[in-house]
């Protein structure tokens, strides 16, 4: 940290080795060739650490609110389905989890390998799987699986 602090870095992300921002494309290509097969590092540098309890509480509140809005948006999507059953809701939730994993963590992992990519995968699948289980029960409570399915022949008999 002392070395990084002494470099006068701006807050941001750094990849080492890399060419300077002002380098031409041929200079950048030379750096890429010279570093091929050698160690590299990605650093997220921040000038000031913010570890107070109030910062942590606000981050948790914001995280909860974002998650709540995401689940409301998912419920809206489910509400647009004709007659979603428990299995449909669970499968839709797992698909959303898979999409969220593939879009951000996995795509980032293609370029900059994450040592914890499987943790991201488990976070997405387990969280959305539990969401699907709960919503599959909650949104279908009090209804049988076939209660919203209309069978035209049966309607004629009842009429």
Note whether 114 and 80 are same-domain residues: yes
Is residue 157 domain-resident?
no
Note whether 38 and 104 are same-domain residues: no
Note whether 72 and 101 are same-domain residues: yes
Nearest alpha-carbon partner for 137 in 53, 78, 50: 78
CA pseudo-torsion sign 143, 148, 154, 157: positive
* Residues near 6 by beta carbon (within 8 Å), at least 6 away in sequence: none
Nearest alpha-carbon partner for 40 in 32, 29, 48, 51: 32
Q: Are 83 and 148 in contact (CB under 8 A)?
A: yes
Note whether 72 and 133 are same-domain residues: yes
Note whether 37 and 62 are same-domain residues: no
Note whether 85 and 20 are same-domain residues: no
Note whether 65 and 118 are same-domain residues: yes
Radius of gyration, CA atoms only, the chain: 25
Q: C-alpha 82: how far from its chain's center?
A: 27
Is residue 109 domain-resident?
yes
What was the pLDDT predicted at 76? 94
Domain hosting 30: range is: 2-45
Note whether 132 and 67 are same-domain residues: yes
What was the pLDDT predicted at 113? 84
Note whether 67 and 104 are same-domain residues: yes
Is residue 50 domain-resident?
no
Note whether 40 and 64 are same-domain residues: no
Q: pLDDT in tens for each of the 159 residues of the chain?
A: 888 888 888 898 888 888 888 899 999 999 999 999 999 888 889 988 887 888 889 999 999 999 999 999 999 999 999 889 999 999 999 999 999 999 999 998 998 888 899 999 999 999 999 999 999 999 888 666 555 545 555 555 555
Nearest alpha-carbon partner for 88 in 149, 36, 46, 39: 149
* Residues near 111 by beta carbon (within 8 Å), at least 6 away in sequence: none
What was the pLDDT predicted at 130? 97
Is residue 145 domain-resident?
no
Note whether 70 and 41 are same-domain residues: no
Is residue 85 domain-resident?
yes
Is residue 75 domain-resident?
yes
C-alpha dihedral, 98 to 85 to 78 to 93, nearest 10°: -20
Number of independent structural domains in the chain: 2
Residue with tokens 């709540």: 68
Is residue 156 domain-resident?
no
For residue 134, give both structure tokens: 């709960």
Note whether 68 and 111 are same-domain residues: yes
C-alpha distances out from residue 156 to 85, 148, 150, Å: 25, 16, 11
Is residue 151 domain-resident?
no
Query: How far is 101 from 2, CA to CA, in rounded Å?
Result: 36
Residue with tokens 């380098």: 23
């Amino acid at each position: 940290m002392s070395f990084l602090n002494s470099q006068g870095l701006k807050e941001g992300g750094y990849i080492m080795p890399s060419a300077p921002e002002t380098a031409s494309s041929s200079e950048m290509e030379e750096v890429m060739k010279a570093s091929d097969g050698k160690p590299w590092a990605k650093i997220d540098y921040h000038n000031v650490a913010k570890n107070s309890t109030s910062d942590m509480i606000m981050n948790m509140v914001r995280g909860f609110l974002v998650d709540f809005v995401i689940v409301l948006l998912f419920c809206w999507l489910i509400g647009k389905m004709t007659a979603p059953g428990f299995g449909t809701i669970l499968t839709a939730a797992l698909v959303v989890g898979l999409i969220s994993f593939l879009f951000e963590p996995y795509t980032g992992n293609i370029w900059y390998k994450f040592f914890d990519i499987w943790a991201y995968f488990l976070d997405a699948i387990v969280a959305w799987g539990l969401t699907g289980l709960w919503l599959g029960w909650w949104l279908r409570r009090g209804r049988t699986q076939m209660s919203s399915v209309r069978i035209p022949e049966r309607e004629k008999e009842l009429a």
